[in-house]
Amino acid sequence: MSSDGSRAGELRAGRRAALAAAAVILALAAGKGAVGYLFSVPILVADAYHSLGDIVAVLASAFGLWLASRQKTALFPYGLLRAENLAALLVSLLILFAGIEMLREGYLLLPASPRPGPPPLPALLASAASVLASFFVSRLQRRASLRLDSQSLKANANEAFLDMFSSALAFAGILLTWLGVPYVQGAVVMLIAALILRLGLVNVWGAVLVLVDANLDPELQGQIAEQVNALYGVKGVSDVRIRRAGPFRMVECTITTKPSLPLYKAHELADRAEAIILERYRQVESVHTHVEPSREGTVTAIVPVAELGSLDSKVFGHFARAPFFVILRIGPEEVEIEDFYLNEFLQEEAHVGLQVFKTIVRYRLDMVFTERIGEIAFSLLKNSFVDVYSCPGGVSVREAVRRYHAGLLPALTSATETVEKARSPREPREG
């Protein structure tokens, strides 16, 4: 099962954000480069080259998102979602290259002596404008990356934020150089380069982990296991595995259910599990659920009884109108009482079965032993994958379990009473 409805639209929105960022960065780089060249400001020229490197990175992200939005084909049955991760790796490598070049440039600038002259106002204004523009670009890409959970857009947003910081350092470096402070130009460029190298290494490592299917979502794994395990009919969840593919996740899991569940019901249970995951976690692109029979061998049963007591209590003849219920844990050869429940809805004139079901549902039942049952209760139990077995009233609970083990309790395929009959005045308690 997959959720392709809004995926293409989200990818188009991410692509538009990347292209808009590229246009802003291009104008920014051209302005900084022109001012730096005309007024001989090495820091500004280096910052402009860094911005040009950002443009290549942003365009790589846009290309990756475009590839990720392509339709699935026979050659690429899973689509090209991981093209975005490949683009993120390219982005990170470009960032590393820019950092190395800037580090070398900064080292060469260290011995340069400041030159006296008028305040470099155009260079300062260009750096200040770069700070504001980089802040705008960072926010634009971060918002798009959060909507898509896009790795390359996140990398570009972080780089744009770093570009804002580096432009602020360039502003300070230009000002301090004009004031005659030595070694400022080279030191500022080398500091920016060190930050860029660190960011590049982090992003390269993240992209590589995704491409080799590392487990990067342990928290999401736990949440999915908890949500699926809460489904009625699920006896356990195991092997929850999550693979990242671009901005999306592909989930696989194994659920166990009772061995007696028919194949079509097992498929229905798997569909429910997949629907819950896709509905609650929008970053999940597809879910594959495998259903296996539980090997636990122990089932939970509820039996309407006439009185509280032991396994010798008598089975009451009607499910919803029973004064008490006994909850049993039945193993291959043994049985034990888990709990008793007092029916507090006996005074109700209608829909007693519905009220009883809402109360006993917390016991995660596998089966019910009863002689008679109304349509509403029967439907609710069957929709919750609970088997209903016909058991004559008046026999002991112990005898009912013995007959179950011997295969002498037939399974009910329909309710024994209509809704209209269930609304009739309640019968006297049976003992």
Residue 333, number of CB atoms within 10 A of its CB = 7
Q: What stretch of H or E contains 398?
A: helix 397-405
What local confidence, expressed as pLDDT, does residue 251 receive? 93
Q: For residue 354, give both structure tokens.
A: 């519905």
Of 328, 327, 316, nearest in space to 352 by CA? 316
Residue 44, number of CB atoms within 10 A of its CB = 30
Q: For residue 167, give both structure tokens.
A: 């432009």
- Helices (H) and strands (E) counted in the chain, each on its own, are 12, 8
Cα distance between residue 68 and residue 71, in whole Å: 8
What is the three-class DSSP state of 315?
Answer: strand
Task: Return residue ranges of the chain for CATH 3.30.70.1350.
Answer: 218-293
Main-chain dihedrals φ then ψ at residue 385, nearest 5 degrees: 65, 35
What local confidence, expressed as pLDDT, does residue 119 receive? 62
Strand partners, 245: 248
Residues 6+ apart with CB under 8 A from 247: 10, 11, 14, 68, 81, 84, 148, 149, 150, 151, 283
Handedness of CA 9, 11, 14, 15 (dihedral sign): negative
In tens digits, the chain (431 residues) has pLDDT values of: 444 545 666 667 777 777 777 777 778 778 887 887 787 777 777 777 767 666 666 666 677 667 766 777 888 877 777 777 787 787 778 778 877 877 887 788 777 666 656 667 888 888 888 888 878 777 777 777 776 666 666 766 776 777 777 777 778 888 787 777 778 877 877 887 787 787 778 878 888 888 888 888 899 999 999 999 888 888 888 889 998 877 678 899 999 888 777 788 888 889 999 999 988 887 788 899 998 877 767 888 999 999 888 899 999 999 988 999 999 998 887 888 988 888 888 887 777 888 888 888 778 888 999 999 988 889 888 888 888 999 999 999 999 999 998 989 999 989 888 765 555 444 444 33
What local confidence, expressed as pLDDT, does residue 426 receive? 46
Of 49, 215, 38, nearest in space to 123 by CA? 38
7-211: in CATH 1.20.1510.10: yes
* CB-facing half-sphere around the CA of 324: CA atoms within 13 A: 16
Q: Which fold has domain 299-422?
A: Nucleotidyltransferase; domain 5 (3.30.420)
Amino acid at 196: I
CATH number of 218-293: 3.30.70.1350
Cα distance between residue 196 and residue 198, in whole Å: 5
Task: Return residue ranges of the chain for CATH 1.20.1510.10.
Answer: 7-211
What local confidence, expressed as pLDDT, does residue 152 receive? 62
Q: If you search the block for the tokens 């409805």, which residue do you land on?
A: 5
pTM of the predicted structure, to 2 decimals: 0.63
What local confidence, expressed as pLDDT, does residue 33 receive? 79
Task: Return residue ranges of the chain for CATH 3.30.420.130.
Answer: 299-422
